Amino acid sequence: MIYLYISVIVILILIPVSLIIYLRITEYIPQDIEDSKIIRNNNSSKSKKTLTLTTLNVGNCSLDKDQDFFLEGGKGSKCVSKQKTSKNLKAIVKMLKEIGSDFFFLQEVDEPCRRSCYTNQVKNITKKFTDYNSSFVYNYKVKHIPVPIFKPMGSAESGLLTLSKFKILESHRHRLKGDERFPKRLFFLKRCMMINKYKINDKEELILINIHLSAYDKGGLVRKKQIEHLIEFINEISKTNKYVIIGGDWNHLLDKSIYKDIMPKWVSTLPKELFDIKFRIVYDKEVNTVRSEDTPYIKGQNFETIIDGFLVSPKIEVVKINTRDYEFKYTDHNPVTISFKLNK
């Protein structure tokens, strides 16, 4: 009998050790700067004075109003079914087409993997937007996430997708400082900025930066390093006096006047230093952009706040900013659109 106990103990040790070894061998380790994957890059749209940019975290098309998520106290970890995920994907594409911005920043867009029932969201979205140029970078590539134990997430392949009606001059993936420690980093995202350059009206250069910062790092220490890196980057790019917009899912409270004491751990506050730079934070104060996933969505019950928006350079004139309230029907975020001009 003692040999049976020993065998069981050895097996229980070998399984997690083997998984960690496997994940370390297959770990996605990007360089500090890499070229983005350019999916389409045709000629630019016609010149126009006012431009629009929309950001939306699509939640791997699996986090609709009926879902919760285990890292926030729920039970869900992956898609319910391929049919449901495909239905959400179709609805999100329709939503984006109705918005019809000149540029789109999308986060949590999956390539075929277990967590989203192997729906190729990158391919599907770019095929539906043939009149847009598109670029993609990974920020999540893990062969197997073994939690929750009785309903593991499985594989995850996901990233940032940027769509534009203007020709892409350059597109790069810039690694953000601040990774989880080993072995935890094997299961988490490798955060980055996707930096795209465009020429507007045949002369003005516009730099658009798609981001998705960390959410579930204990104590917000990883997020702190990411913001510090972002501030360093902004201070450097400010010297060029170019037109720049940084936007996406910040996972930080953009309106620092609300929810100071009742925020869940996945929301963090932006440091004072980010409000002191020349760039300014722009968001819609009237409509929340994200909801909690401790339970399926019930209006008035789930925690809601504003974490999606933009950081714009001094020469950008903001004409309008608005969030469309879809009540989190197809994803756990609402789309935010900024209308802007390039001032001389």
The domain that contains 120 carries what CATH number?
3.60.10.10
How far is Cα 294 from Cα 68, in angstroms, rounded to an integer? 6
Total structural domains within the chain: 1
What distance in Å separates the CA atoms of residue 82 and residue 9, rounded to the nearest whole number? 37
**Domain of 241?**
2-342
72 three-class SS = helix
* Backbone torsions φ then ψ of 16, nearest 5 degrees: -65, -35
pLDDT above 60: residue 109: yes
Distance CA 333, CA 179 (A): 24
Confidence grade of residue 204 (pLDDT, cut at 50, 70, 90): confident
pLDDT at 4: 64
Name the least confident of 65-74, 201-210, 282-291, 317-326: 201-210
- Residues 191, 212 contacting (CB under 8 angstroms): yes
Nearest to 21 by CA among 30, 32, 13: 13
* pLDDT higher than 60, residue 162: yes
Would you place residue 191 in the very low, low, confident or very high pLDDT band (cuts 50, 70, 90)?
very high
CB 327 within 8 A of CB 299: yes
> Is residue 261 predicted with pLDDT exceeding 70?
no
CA-closest candidate to residue 216, choices 191, 199, 196, 197: 191
pLDDT band of residue 217 (cuts 50, 70, 90) is confident
Q: Which residue has the tokens 């192997």?
A: 118
Cβ neighbours of 218 (radius 10 Å) = 9
Q: What is the pTM of this model?
A: 0.95
**pLDDT above 90 for 218:** no
Token pair 């981001």 is found at: 211
Average pLDDT, whole number, for the chain?
A: 92
pLDDT tens digits, 1-17: 676 666 556 566 677 78
| Weakest-pLDDT range from 56-65, 214-223, 321-330 | 214-223
